[in-house]
Structure 1
Amino acid sequence: MTLTAIRRTLLIFQVNMSSLSNSLLIPVEVRGMKCLDRKKFSRIVILPILKIPDEKLSKITQICKSYFLKLSNFMPVQILQEKNSENFNKCIYLNPDKVSKWLDISEADRTLLKQLNIADDNFDKKEVQLNYDNFKHDEIFKAILPENEEVVSGFSQIGHIIHLNLRDHLLEYRSLIGEVLVDKIKTCRTAVNKSSFIDNTYRNFSMEVIAGEEDFLVTVKENRCIFQFDFSKVYWNPRLCKEHERILEFLKPGDILFDVFCGVGPFAVPAAKKKCRVFANDLNPDSFKWLNHNAKQNKVNMSLFKSFNIDGTDFICSTFR
């Protein structure tokens, strides 16, 4: 079996395993949707519940926690509004993927529940109206995007921008993917998809706004500093945050740092804040602009900080002397 075949087999297995989450609740007719229609996620479902008395709520919920129905904007424990239910004023909504009948609850847990006078008679089913707001972005993607194919496996967030690098088979869904992310991630106002490789002099790349505002000016907090920059014009990789932090831990006051390709200052600015003497360079004029802006915004001692906007080779040859 080739490496590609093995990878695809593992991918299908992962998709099938992950699709178990709330798989019975999302309508199947949304599969293949390319234009987001939120109304199609509205449906009435029948959910398993346990009717319980209020005075035993704390002990019962501890036993039943692993069976809870977990949905966005939905409380698994609710007031039971039914006639002839004087003795049971609360109900626990159970995950239908795990529980469809009383015996689906493990024997050990049933024994504990019976000690609290909760038994088969307390098990019931109830109609509930669900809608788009009850589902997370990954659940919506699994329901809509092609089966047995890689879905949106990950993305980066830079300030208010979600940055994706979508596979070819997902490009026709990109507008929908962007809309869902803007809807579901509260701090996201803009979703972009990378539309080219990093192959230019300044190491930034072209991007397509697939949803939200066309606003590339972001604010990012990293290593106790605040950075502002135009994400469309500079290089910033949020996955390097821990690497930046790890290297900064080696620096101590009085050290000298030469940062040849400093970008907007994720090394240079925190190093200067630690009272290191910093020589920071970047060829990209936009990076140079935001480097100096970030140094001032973070109240760097400018007597310890010197910035350059020249080629890296020239910086090394001229500044290292």
Structure 2
Amino acid sequence: MGGALRRVQLRMTPTAPVLDRSAFKNTLELVALQVPSRSCQAFLSNKDLRPFILQRAFVRPIEKDPGDTALRLVLLDEQVKQLDDLSGTARAFVESSGAKFVPFQLEVSYEQCTAEQVMKALMPESCVIRSFETIGHIAHVNLRDDQLPYKHVIAQVLLDKHPNLRTVVNKVGQISNEYRVFDMEVIGGDANLDTEVSEHGSRFQFNFGEVYWNSRLQTEHRRLVDAFDEGCVIADMFCGVGPFAVPAARRRSCTVHANDLNPRSVHYLKKNIALNGIDGSIIPYNLDARQFIEESRERQRTGEISMFDHIIMNLPAMALEFLDVFRGAYAPDEKRPRIHVYCFTCAEEADAEDDILRRAESALGSPIVDPTLHCVRKVAPRKDMYCLSFNLPEQAVGTSAERPMKRHCAEMAPYHP
């Protein structure tokens, strides 16, 4: 496989409209409890009163009493207007303490509003962004059609409320190319997609527009790497910039043969090897995944490289189909690896294992014994990501003539239910 790398198109959008921050200046008419300064902590920590204390981002619920320096004001929630608005136990605590109810005017502005509060004031609640992926200084959002008219405002608010962010990008369409990168548009901030991510002590540098990266998988990266024995030999067939390979080499002292079809992924993998001080522990390859396994097996037969203890296949849209590369790849007397293959399923939870095993065994051409299935995350309401782990079964050994005609990554369609 080869060909020039298809560069991701960065569709720069017009400058987002200026947000009128002054419009968020407001005076809240609150009530407060007037208490001795030495008693503040007792009020804040009381489990019965705590639900009725003002909980607003960037606002302290304690204010000085303007008329007496020895007193403090414990601000109550906007819904509390009188003593009877408290629960019975909270009311009893206040009455026994001798605290007084006094009015208090709280001046709030844009700076005291959360991103969600600002967005709720500017757009329908259904359009408010409540979560997003961060990749270093980049925020990655997936906006629906009804959110697109507000994309510039959404980006501006995210940049204002998250000082660590400098760029906001919106995914345009689905991943539809062999390198697992997607079209995106910069909807806020600068267009610099060169970023650095830290994940459980490992550092990764890459251009988010050129390679695949998913910050939501960091827990899974750690789970699988923690399962490896110290010093084992690993093959990573779809390694990306190294989220499995780098920590396996750095934390578990593994030797990793790391392959990816995307030449830019391999470029950044090499950079991350140096960045993490693990030169010599990771051997990078830029091959089609089937070619990588076939050439590795030839080198193992001649003793040029060691046998693999584990093989990682993190290409969930189509990795199960690549299991056919192991048909007849090992002789009966050879050590066989443990395989960890990632996949999607749209089956109900009770049927997920049957669906995944059926597809895996069909590609492998043999039954799988004692599999382990781990649910990685829910991708969509009817789409889950799993990791299937199993030892390559004895029935899969044989001759290469038993294997079906091989297909390369670019020729394969991603999984659709």
Classify the TM-score, shorter chain. 0.7 to 0.9
Q: How many residues align?
A: 280
For residue 151 of structure 1, report the CA deviation from its aligned partner.
2.8
Do 1:56 and 1:116's aligned partners in 2 also have CA atoms closer than 8 Å?
A: no
Gaps of 5+ in 2: 1-16, 299-417
Opposite residue 129 of structure 1, the aligned amino acid is E
Q: Deviations over 1:129-176 (max 9, x none)?
A: 2111111112222232214x2531421011111100011100010000
Q: Please list, as runs of the form range in 1=range in 2, the aligned pairs for 1:115-264 lying within 5 A after superposition.
A: 115-118=96-99, 122-147=100-125, 149-264=126-241
Opposite residue 275 of structure 1, the aligned amino acid is S
Structure 1 residue corresponding to 2:39, chosen from 56, 60, 66: 56
Q: Percent identity among equivalent residues?
A: 35
Do 2:136 and 2:197's aligned partners in 1 also have CA atoms closer than 8 Å?
A: yes
Structure 2 residue corresponding to 1:299, chosen from 277, 288, 296: 277
Q: Please list, as runs of the form range in 1=range in 2, the aligned pairs for 1:14-33 lying within 5 A after superposition.
A: none
In structure 1, what is the Cα distance between the partners aligned to 2:225 and 2:216? 16
SS of 1:227 mapped into structure 2: strand
Match of 2:71 in 1: 89
Q: Deviations over 1:243-279 (max 9, x none)?
A: 1111101112231111111000011111122221211
Do 1:272 and 1:301's aligned partners in 2 also have CA atoms closer than 8 Å?
A: no
For residue 114 of structure 1, report the CA deviation from its aligned partner.
2.0
Match of 1:281 in 2: 259
Deviates more, 1:198-207 or 1:34-43: 34-43
For residue 57 of structure 1, report the CA deviation from its aligned partner.
2.2
Do 1:283 and 1:311's aligned partners in 2 also have CA atoms closer than 8 Å?
A: yes
In structure 2, what is the Cα distance between the partners aligned to 1:255 and 1:320? 17
Q: Deviations over 1:176-224 (max 9, x none)?
A: 0001001111211111111121101211111111111211111111132
Deviates more, 1:149-158 or 1:181-190: 149-158
Opposite residue 248 of structure 1, the aligned amino acid is V
Change in Cα spacing, 1:228 to 1:176, as seen in structure 2 (3 Å) is same
TM-score (norm. length: structure 2): 0.64
In structure 1, what is the Cα distance between the partners aligned to 2:243 and 2:43? 50
In structure 2, what is the Cα distance between the partners aligned to 1:108 and 1:291? 60
Matched, 1:75 2:60: yes
SS of 1:320 mapped into structure 2: helix
Larger Rg: 2
TM-score (norm. length: structure 1): 0.83
For residue 312 of structure 1, report the CA deviation from its aligned partner.
1.4
- Of structures 1 and 2, the one with the larger relative CO (CA 8 A, separation 6+) is 1
Q: Deviations over 1:18-39 (max 9, x none)?
A: xxxxxxxxxxxxxxxx752111
For residue 109 of structure 1, report the CA deviation from its aligned partner.
1.5
Opposite residue 209 of structure 2, the aligned amino acid is S
Change in Cα spacing, 1:42 to 1:289, as seen in structure 2 (3 Å) is same
Q: Specify which structure has the higher proportion of helix.
A: 1
Gaps of 5+ in 1: 1-33
Opposite residue 56 of structure 2, the aligned amino acid is L
